[in-house]
Each structure stands twice: as C-alpha cells, then as structure tokens.
C-alpha cells in the first residue's frame, strides 16, 4: 500500500499523508514501519506537522461527506448513471487509437546521476541533491533508506546518517538536459519536454522512415564522441564514459567492430530497438542512463517507463487486449494525476486498482464531478492522449521565495518589490503581459493564502506588478493588524495573458514618466524634495506607479503610511520646497499636509490614483506631456498626453468616450468596437485627454487655474476657440456642437448630447492644433 493509502489510523496520531511515499523506483521492499516511525518522530509537534494534520482532517471530512452522499444514492440513480457510463464507454471504445507509438523517456535519478558522474567518489555512497530543508532527488543507495525527493534533508539524515547532500546546480542540469534533448530531436523533432529530465516523443514517423534505413544509419559507436578540430572531424576515445551509474546497459546485444577497430552496436528497426538506440546514444553522450516506456498513448507510456527503472525500458503492445490486461491490476496511484488525496478517496470506496475503477464507474459518476469521472473512465479503459501537443500556451508565470520568519513591514514590502522585479524580467524574456496579478503568502504555520486582482489591461513591468501586489499585501497586513503578518513564503504570479497583439514588445509606459522631474530615468525613483534625498527607509523607494487612491489619501506619516503613502517622506532639513510628482511644479512648502493637499488637487479625486494604480495607460503607448505645461489640467480631472499615434482600447481604460473631435489635419477613428486609433500625419501635437471617472468634467467646469495655459475665459477643448461666455450651459452647447456626429453615432449612444440647441458652428480652426479625446465614466 502506498502513501498511507486507505489508512484510517490517524486517530492513533499517525498521519498517513506524511508517511513514506514509496511509489518510486528503487523503493520496493523497504521497512516502511521503521521509516515512518522516524519520519513521524522527526516531524511531530512542528508547525508543518500541525498543518499537515489539519489538511488530513479536511480530507477525512471530504471522505465523510462523500460516504454520506453514497449512502443516499438510489438504485434508480445508479442504473441511470450506469447507462450513461456504458454509452460513453462505447463511444470512447470506437475512438480508441492504437496507431501511434508514444515514448516516455525519464532520466534515472537525474540530478543525483549528474552529480555522481562529475564526482565518482559519490558512486557507492547514499547521496541526495538539495539542502537540509528539501531534497530534489536521491540516488538508489539512498532510496534503500527511504530517502527520496520532496523529503527535507534533516529527516533524510535521520533515516540515513551517512547521507551525502549535494547542493543543486541547475545550470549544469540544464546543460546536460540540452544534450539529451538533441538526441530526442532525432527521433521526434516535436517532442514534448516535461521537465529537465523527462519528455514524451511520438516516434511513429521515425519508425516509418527507419524501416528503410541501411544498417549504417542504425550503427552507433561506443564511448566516443565527435570533436571538431579545425574543421576536421575526428572520432576520439573518451575515457571513463561507460555506463557508470546503473547496470543493465541498453547495449545488451553483442558488440561489433567497425573498420577502424572501434566498438560499435547495430540497432534494429522496430520500436524497442529505436528506443534502445536512443537510450544508448544518451548514455554515450552524457554517461547518464535513461528509462523509457513505449505504448500507444501518453498515459500508458508514462506508466511503462517506470516499469523497468532504472536503465530499462518496457513496451506495451499496441493491441486492445494487451492494454486492458496491463491496466487490470495497476494500482491507481501509478497513474499520473492521481495523488495521495485522490488515492485515499478512491480507497475509501474500495478502489485501489484500475480494474476496480472500471467496475465502480457508475458510482464514481454520481460522486465525482464530470471532469473527474471522465478522467477515471479514460484511465480504466487504458486511454490517454495520442497526440503530443508541444506548443501549448503558457497560462501563468510566477516567482516565489521561502525564507525564515519575516514580520517586518519594511522587509515584506521590499521583498514584494524584489519578486515583482524578478517576475517582470521573466515576463520580458517571453514578451508576456497579464491581467491578473496574484500574491501568494504562506505564514509561519504553513497556511497558504492567495490574493488576486484582475486589471482592465495587461501589465508586465516591475512598477505595474508592484502597484497591485503592494496593495494586496497591504490589505493582508491590515487584515491581521495589529498582529504582524508572520510570513515564511511570498510569491507573485501573473496570469490571464493578453492576446498575441498585446504580447508585442512592451510599449513605453506612461508610469515611467511619473517620476521625479530631474531624473530622466526609466527606473523607479524616489518621491522627494529637490535636494538629494537621503532618506534611507526602504519604503521611500516605492514608485509613483504604486500609488493608489487610498495611499494618496493617507496624509499622516503613520506606520502604514510609511509603506504606502506617497508623501510620507520627510523633507530634508533646509529644503523649502517639494516637487509635485503630478504637475512637476515646485510647491513652496515643507508641510506634508499642505503638500498632500496640493497633490490631491492634482490627482483630482480618485482618478489619477485609480488610473495609475491599475496601470491602465501602459498599453496606450502615451507619454505625459510635461513640457508644454498642459499637465496642470490634471487639476480639473483632465490628463493630457502627447502622442503621434496611439491605439486606445476604451474597455481597457475602463472609461467611456463622451467627446471626440476631428481636427482638420488629423484623424480620430474607431477601428474596432471600443478601440480608438488616434494618429496624425501632419500635426505633431495630437493630444489625448483621459478624463477621470468621478473627476470634474473640464468641458463643463474649466477652472480658472486650468485656463492659464489656454488663454482667458472658457476655452473649448475641442476646437480650441475661446468662448465669449461664462455661462456653462452655453459653453456646453458649443462643445456639443464640436463633437463629431459620425463618431458619436459609432459610439452607439454612449454619450447623450443634446445637439438640438447648437449655436453657431465652430469657428475655423486656428493656431496649433491640439486634438482631444475625452473619456469619462
């Protein structure tokens, strides 16, 4: 019985989920009781153990609920389910495909084998790769003691005091993996790598070609490799490159000698021979052995590769009866996808083998979800995927870190930012942007929490990620306040990747411009006074992009404000002014309250913060027009950006357009629903205004301070003409008139404008052309 199985002895303090999982090659016939005793004694009382106990209880409750449900199933329900199962079984049977030859190749104890190859002293010693906290893999000597992957090193040491623990060296494993993959590619150029040491191949096409190959193409040399010496290829003998790690070398057939006297091996044309050749070549190339399974589908190939591990292979013939026979007595736990919880749940129903699974399918159809019982049905029939899909799109990307207890806010925010930085780099490498940012936290009691936020548009930069992650972290900190958040792990994940269009190289973000005026930098800057900021606190490094409305509102430099309030930095003594990060003006005060009030005005309610914190402008490809002074309009709720070309997704921005104007020498067009294209061939001064939700509407309330830059009185933001009126109603009518009829029509009535009261048509356009696209809630 593997991994505790159906054990219900947790009442005696035995935690089955923590027991040895000996479902691994090289771990048969171990003294499980003795090993489990040591594992339990090492773990008992620890926070980890307590958490595992809790999880075990949850699984037990799930089983109880399931059994209760089972008790209420009627004969009628069962026979109905049976009919459904039978119908589906016959459908699946009709579609059974036995034509493909699928191979699953798995390197034997990969990391451990690489380390042993490079340090032969380890050969006869029990060894594992990893650390005292966690082991990645162990060699077969260590497995005899119950030491296996996913076991903490300190427990492994108790099981096997002589265990040698070697630290991981992923660069090395990646290099070896690349060599192995070169061999795979010769048999299936579209092979599917599952990890550094494992892959699926469809060798059907290779076998077809192979049948016509002359013997020379199926002949491979022993212990030699080709080296390129100045363009001349020469075969050299390599010392010590024999099957060093495991017995049962694939070279079981007699060796021959080639014309040059080197030992060679000739391989046949069938599937077994092709796979034996592949393993032979891997071994000659890397001195490492691999095991393989050959079967008509991926699910079976995976099981088969484990059958003769290490350094062996197994072929399941491609006929229905062979598959059914093979599946019959196979323990469910051997199937990839059935772990300790599913095994335990099935065990509670008396199901331990795949044949049981088939027999109880009607019951399973009533107790499990459709996805689950369909999966079970496929397994019980020996069905699996026959098509190796390589280019499956990535769904998410994340990074996380485990550390010693961390309770200090500063440290937590700083780590959060570091993670965002790392993730942003990774995203950039694959040119990915995602809409959902998830923060993962594990506290010192091993309780895991994930908190996600989905943005209206895809993000990728450190600032954008941190803006969200920081908020999520802050919320969690507030939730446990006044207790500190005692963490042992933090992670950041991005998912809901944008479509191919959005995956193009990132456009310059407007966020990057919302930094200190003096710095031209694209990196994060400190919000500071004019004089060099000597503040050493980590939180002053929080960029403007991380600012949210709630942060902005935090006027007091309190503990929380220090991590999020944008204005928390104390001005340096001797400084008599501070630079507003919104309008970039000097504010003649050192009073934070006054300074904050100024910023509030600039931010115009929640708008700016909301816009920025959600990073909605990134995909717009706009930059803040800070040079012309028009930014002061932000005090009225207008944000001005200068651009020559911009595609603006209205749904992304989350705002509705209320007004568009068409200038004589530019074009504002709609090319998809909710998407505007703003471009200008002749006029470099195209401007896009984003009017914040909730903010004052500039068309109706142009405030005096915002008029300074556009002349006296009320200036129409559409035609740029100064209107000879102070009456807002009249002014509004004028603006209405300027709205492009056709565009409004296309907008489908998003704006309700009364055009029946138009006064005169707008005057002919004069002066520099500033075109505006206005959005509002």
Q: From the CB of 500, what's the least distance to DNA, in Å?
A: 16
Q: Is residue 593 at the binding interface for DNA, with CB under 7 A as the rule? A: no
Nearest to 625 by CA among 701, 689, 683, 708: 689
673 binds DNA (CB under 7 A): no
Give phi and psi for 123, each to the nearest 5: -45, -50
Q: What is the DSSP letter of 620?
A: G
- What is the smallest separation between the CB atom of 18 and DNA, expressed in angstroms? 6
Query: Binding DNA by CB under 7 A: which of 175, 431, 448, 728?
Result: 448
Calculate helix-pair angle for 170-187, 271-286, nearest 10 degrees.
Answer: 150
Q: Does 363 help bind DNA (rule: CB under 7 A)?
A: no
Q: Please enumerate in sequence order all residues whose Cβ is within 8 A of that of 505, keeping only pairs 6 or more positions apart, or say none.
A: 431
- The 98-137 site mask, x for binding DNA (CB under 7 A), equals ----------------------------------xxx-x-
Which residues ranging from 366 to 405 are in contact with DNA (CB under 7 A)?
Answer: 368-372, 392, 394-402
Q: Is-contact 313 103, C-beta < 8 A?
A: no
Longest dimension (CA), the chain: 103
Question: Does residue number 225 form part of the binding site for DNA (CB under 7 A)?
Answer: no
Token pair recorded at residue 64: 């109880």
**What is the chain's alpha carbon radius of gyration, rounded to the nearest angstrom?**
34
Instruction: Report how many residues bind DNA under the rule CB under 7 A.
Output: 68
Nearest CB to DNA, comparing residues 80 and 451: 451
- Give the nearest distance from C-beta 260 to DNA in angstroms: 39
Please state whether the peptide bond connecting residue 310 to the residue before it is cis, i.e. omega within 30 degrees of 0. Answer: yes
As a whole number of angstroms, the distance between CA 336 and CA 232 comes to 47
Distance (Å, whole) CA 264 – CA 224: 10
C-alpha 427/C-alpha 494 separation (Å) is 9
The 475-504 site mask, x for binding DNA (CB under 7 A), equals -------------xx-x-x-xx--------
Find the binding residues for DNA in span 734-763 (CB under 7 A): none
CB 256 within 8 A of CB 266: yes
**Shortest spacing between CB 441 and DNA, in angstroms:** 8
Q: Tokens 């449900």 correspond to what residue?
A: 69
Report yes or no: 468 and 455 within 8 Å, Cβ to Cβ. yes
Q: How far is CA 674 from CA 443, 649, 671, in A?
A: 43, 6, 8
The residue with tokens 């459908």 is 91
Build a one-symbol-per-residue string for 144-183: x at contacts with DNA by CB under 7 A, - elsewhere. ------xxxxxx-x--------------------------
CA torsion, ordered 609, 612, 614, 618, to nearest 10 deg: 160
Distance CA 308, CA 327 (A): 16
Q: Which is nearer to DNA, 294 or 582 (CB)?
A: 294
Instruction: Quote the least distance from Cβ 162 to DNA, whole Å.
Output: 15
- Restricting to residues 318-357, name those near DNA by CB under 7 A: 335-343
Give the residue with the Cβ less far from DNA, 126 or 666: 126
Q: Of 31, 6, 30, whose CA–CA distance to 17 is shortest? A: 6
**Residue from 276, 302, 309, 470 in contact with DNA (CB under 7 A):** 302
Q: Does 79 bind DNA (CB under 7 A)?
A: no
User: Of 40 and 753, which CB lies nearer to DNA in the complex structure?
Assistant: 40
Residue 59 lies near DNA (rule: CB under 7 A) = yes
Least distance CB 269 / DNA (angstroms): 30
* Minimum distance from residue 21 beta carbon to DNA (Å): 9
- Taking CB under 7 A as the criterion, the residue among 194, 264, 549, 553 binding DNA is 194
**Interface map 12-31 toward DNA (x if CB under 7 A):** ------x-------------
User: Residue 777: beta bridge partners?
Assistant: none
Q: Comparing C-alpha atoms, which of 174, 167, 113, 173 is closest to residue 143? A: 113
Q: Which is nearer to DNA, 16 or 564 (CB)?
A: 16
- What does the binding site for DNA look like in residue numbers (CB under 7 A)? 18, 39, 42-43, 46-49, 55, 58-59, 132-134, 136, 150-155, 157, 194-198, 302, 335-343, 368-372, 392, 394-402, 426, 436, 438, 448-454, 488-489, 491, 493, 495-496
């Amino acid at each position: 019985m593997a991994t505790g199985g159906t054990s219900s002895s947790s009442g005696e303090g035995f935690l089955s989920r923590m027991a040895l999982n000996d479902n691994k090659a090289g771990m048969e016939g171990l003294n499980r009781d003795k090993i489990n005793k040591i594992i339990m004694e090492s773990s008992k009382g620890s926070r980890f153990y307590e958490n595992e106990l809790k999880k075990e209880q949850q699984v037990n409750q799930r089983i109880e609920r399931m059994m209760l449900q089972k008790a209420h199933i009627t004969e009628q329900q069962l026979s109905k389910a049976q009919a459904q199962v039978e119908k589906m079984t016959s459908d699946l049977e009709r579609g059974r495909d036995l034509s493909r030859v699928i191979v699953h190749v798995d390197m034997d104890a990969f990391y451990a084998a690489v380390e042993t190859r490079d340090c032969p002293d380890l050969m006869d010693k029990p060894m594992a790769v990893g650390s005292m906290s966690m082991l990645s893999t162990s060699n077969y000597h260590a497995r005899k003691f119950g030491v296996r992957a996913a076991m903490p090193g300190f427990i492994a040491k108790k099981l096997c005091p002589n265990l040698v623990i070697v630290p991981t060296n992923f660069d090395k494993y990646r290099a070896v993996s690349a060599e192995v993959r070169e061999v795979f590619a010769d048999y299936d150029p579209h092979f599917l790598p599952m990890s550094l040491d494992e892959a699926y191949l469809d060798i059907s096409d290779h076998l077809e070609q192979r049948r016509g190959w002359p013997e020379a193409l199926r002949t491979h040399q022993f212990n030699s490799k080709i080296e390129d010496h100045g363009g001349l290829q020469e075969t050299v003998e390599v010392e010590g490159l024999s099957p060093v790690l495991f017995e049962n070398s694939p070279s079981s057939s007699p060796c021959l000698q080639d014309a040059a006297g080197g030992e060679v091996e000739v391989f046949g044309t069938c599937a077994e021979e092709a796979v034996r050749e592949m393993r032979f070549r891997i071994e000659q190339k890397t001195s490492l052995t691999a095991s393989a399974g050959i079967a008509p589908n991926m699910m079976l190939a995976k099981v088969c590769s484990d059958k003769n591990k290490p350094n062996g292979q197994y072929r399941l013939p491609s006929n229905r009866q062979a598959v059914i026979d093979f599946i019959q007595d196979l323990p469910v736990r051997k199937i990839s996808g059935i772990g300790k919880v599913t095994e335990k749940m099935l065990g509670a129903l008396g199901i331990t083998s795949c044949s049981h699974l088939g027999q109880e399918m009607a019951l399973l159809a009533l107790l499990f979800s459709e996805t689950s019982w369909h999966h079970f049905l496929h397994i019980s029939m020996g069905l699996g995927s026959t098509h190796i899909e390589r280019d499956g799109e990535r769904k998410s990307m994340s990074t996380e870190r485990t550390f010693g207890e961390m309770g200090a806010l500063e440290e937590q925010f700083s780590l959060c930012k570091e993670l965002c930085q790392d993730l942003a780099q990774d995203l950039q490498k694959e040119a990915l942007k995602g809409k959902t940012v998830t923060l993962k936290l594990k506290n010192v009691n091993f309780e895991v929490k994930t908190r996600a936020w989905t943005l209206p548009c895809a993000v990728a930069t450190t600032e954008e990620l941190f803006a969200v992650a920081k908020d999520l972290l802050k919320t969690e900190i507030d939730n446990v306040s006044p207790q500190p958040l005692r963490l042992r792990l933090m992670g950041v994940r991005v998912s809901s990747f944008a479509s191919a269009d959005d995956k193009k190289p990132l456009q310059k973000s407007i966020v990057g411009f919302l930094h200190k005026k003096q710095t031209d930098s694209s990196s994060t800057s400190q919000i500071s006074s004019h004089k060099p900021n000597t503040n050493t606190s980590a939180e002053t490094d929080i960029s403007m992009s991380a600012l949210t409305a709630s942060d902005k509102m935090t006027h007091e430099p309190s503990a929380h404000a220090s991590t999020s309030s944008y204005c928390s930095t104390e001005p340096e003594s001797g400084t008599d002014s501070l630079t507003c990060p919104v309008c970039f003006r000097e504010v003649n005060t050192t009073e934070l309250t006054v300074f904050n009030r100024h910023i509030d005005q600039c931010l115009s309610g929640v708008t700016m913060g909301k816009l920025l914190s959600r990073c909605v402008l990134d995909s717009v490809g706009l930059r803040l027009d800070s040079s012309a002074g028009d930014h002061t309009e932000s005090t009225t709720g207008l944000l001005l950006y200068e651009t020559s070309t911009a595609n603006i997704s209205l749904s992304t921005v989350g705002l509705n357009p209320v007004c568009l104007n068409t200038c004589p020498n530019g074009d504002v067009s709609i090319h998809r629903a909710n998407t505007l294209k703003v471009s200008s061939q002749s006029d470099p001064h195209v401007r896009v205004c984003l009017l914040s939700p909730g903010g004052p509407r500039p068309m109706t309330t142009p405030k005096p301070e915002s008029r300074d830059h556009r002349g006296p009185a009320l200036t129409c933001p559409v035609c740029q003409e100064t209107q000879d009126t102070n009456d807002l109603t009249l002014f509004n009518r004028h603006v209405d008139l300027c709205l492009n009829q056709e565009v409004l029509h296309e907008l489908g009535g998003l704006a309700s404008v009364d055009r029946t009261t138009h006064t005169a048509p707008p005057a002919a356009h004069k002066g520099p052309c500033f075109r505006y696209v206005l959005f509002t809630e």
